[in-house]
């Protein structure tokens, strides 16, 4: 079966990633520490804001902490599966290594998107879950099984949106050869996702809700957990944007590959 074939292939990619990470244990541990320090700075930023105010619109301090935890959780899972692969696409095109992938009897986009796994990001995602749990206890939240399922599903949609948008930006390298700056530029926009959507207004909010929906990616799942929904329109919008950007990413990938002429041409 094709599915079992791809599962076995992905298991082999995981094995290679584990071997690579364990070859450089110091770098593996150091990267985890750096990410945790950055996460801690984000939480300190929240405490500084709430030393001057009690609420950001309808968001209390611990609701914002829950949002920061969810944002980091989604970001780290995205980083674990896709970030390194998206940023490395430029090198595959520049060096001509993409030639060999195109010749393999497997889906090329599957290999390009999933060939490297960042194992340290899973550790950082676990710390984000701990922060979310602590914030939920402080808020006296008791999410139902349906809320947990909705949160998990919306997080997956958020990861899909991040992947689709960053993959589109990465495929620009078929025209420019190098596109790391554009890709990392979008990655830096992830920081907006840790802020309450109600803090923004006007054109800025419109852009980062509809065109680049980084505000929706973490705000909507957290609203499910915190029971802050007044209507299902936000999660329907997130689902719709997830499907839309996934389709656009596939179309753009096929368009880009047709342009590819290999590094030797």
Q: How far is 103 from 114, CA to CA, in rounded Å?
A: 17
Q: What pLDDT is stored for residue 231 in this prediction?
A: 67
- Residue entry with tokens 């929706």: 216
Domain coordinates of the chain in residue numbers? 2-259
- What is the C-alpha separation between 63 and 46, in angstroms, rounded? 11
**Residues 170-183 pLDDT 10s:** 998 888 877 777 77
Q: With the CA atoms of 72, 75, 77 and 78 taken in that order, what torsion angle do they form, in degrees rounded to the nearest 10?
A: 180
- Is residue 46 within 8 Å of 69, Cβ to Cβ? no
Tokens 């030393």 locate to: 51
> Is the distance from CB of 85 to CB of 114 less than 8 angstroms?
yes
Q: Looking at the predicted structure, is the pLDDT value of residue 251 above 90?
A: yes
Model pLDDT for residues 41-86, shown as the tens digit of each residue? 889 989 998 988 888 888 999 999 999 999 999 999 999 999 989 9
Instruction: Give CA–CA dist 122/94, Å, rounded.
Output: 30
CA dihedral of residues 2, 4, 6, 10 (deg, nearest 10) = 180
Residue 180, SS3 per DSSP: helix
pLDDT, averaged across the chain: 87
As a whole number, mean pLDDT of residues 198-208 equals 85
Per-residue pLDDT tens for 82-115?
998 999 998 888 888 888 888 888 899 999 999 9
Residue 230 has a pLDDT of 60
pLDDT for the residue numbered 195:
86
Burial class of residue 5 (count of CB atoms within 10 Å of its CB; 0-12, 13-18, 19+):
exposed
CA-based radius of gyration for the chain: 20
Residues linked to residue 224 through DSSP beta bridges, in sequence order = none
Q: Which of 6-20, 61-75, 154-168, 239-253 has the lowest mean pLDDT?
A: 6-20
State whether residue 142 is helix, strand or coil: coil
For residue 1, the model assigns a pLDDT of: 62
pTM confidence score: 0.91
Given a cut of 60, is residue 264 above it in pLDDT? no
Q: Report phi then psi at 59, rounded to 5.
A: -95, 125
């Amino acid at each position: 079966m094709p599915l079992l074939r791809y599962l076995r292939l992905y298991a082999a990619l995981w094995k290679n990633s584990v071997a690579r990470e364990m070859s450089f244990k110091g770098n593996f541990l150091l990267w985890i520490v750096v990410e945790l320090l950055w996460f801690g700075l984000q939480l300190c930023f929240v405490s500084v804001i709430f030393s001057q105010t009690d609420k950001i619109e309808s968001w209390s301090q611990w609701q914002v902490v829950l949002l920061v935890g969810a944002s980091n959780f989604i970001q780290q899972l995205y980083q674990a599966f896709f970030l390194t692969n998206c940023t490395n696409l430029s090198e595959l095109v520049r060096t001509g290594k993409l030639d060999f992938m195109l010749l393999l009897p497997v889906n090329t986009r599957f290999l390009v998107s999933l060939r490297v796994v960042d194992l340290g990001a899973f550790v950082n995602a676990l710390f984000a879950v701990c922060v979310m749990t602590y914030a939920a206890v402080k808020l006296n939240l008791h999410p139902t099984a349906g809320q947990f399922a909705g949160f998990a599903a919306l997080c997956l949609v958020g990861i899909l949106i991040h992947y689709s948008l960053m993959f589109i930006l990465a495929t620009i390298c078929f025209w420019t050869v190098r596109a790391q700056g554009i890709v990392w530029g979008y990655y830096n926009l992830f920081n907006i996702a840790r802020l309450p959507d109600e803090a923004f207004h006007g054109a800025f909010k419109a852009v980062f809700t509809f065109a680049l929906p980084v505000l929706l990616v973490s705000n909507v799942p957290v609203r499910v957990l915190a029971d802050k929904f007044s209507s299902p329109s936000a999660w329907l919008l997130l689902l719709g944007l997830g499907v839309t950007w996934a389709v656009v990413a596939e179309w753009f990938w096929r368009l880009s590959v047709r342009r590819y002429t290999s590094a030797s041409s």
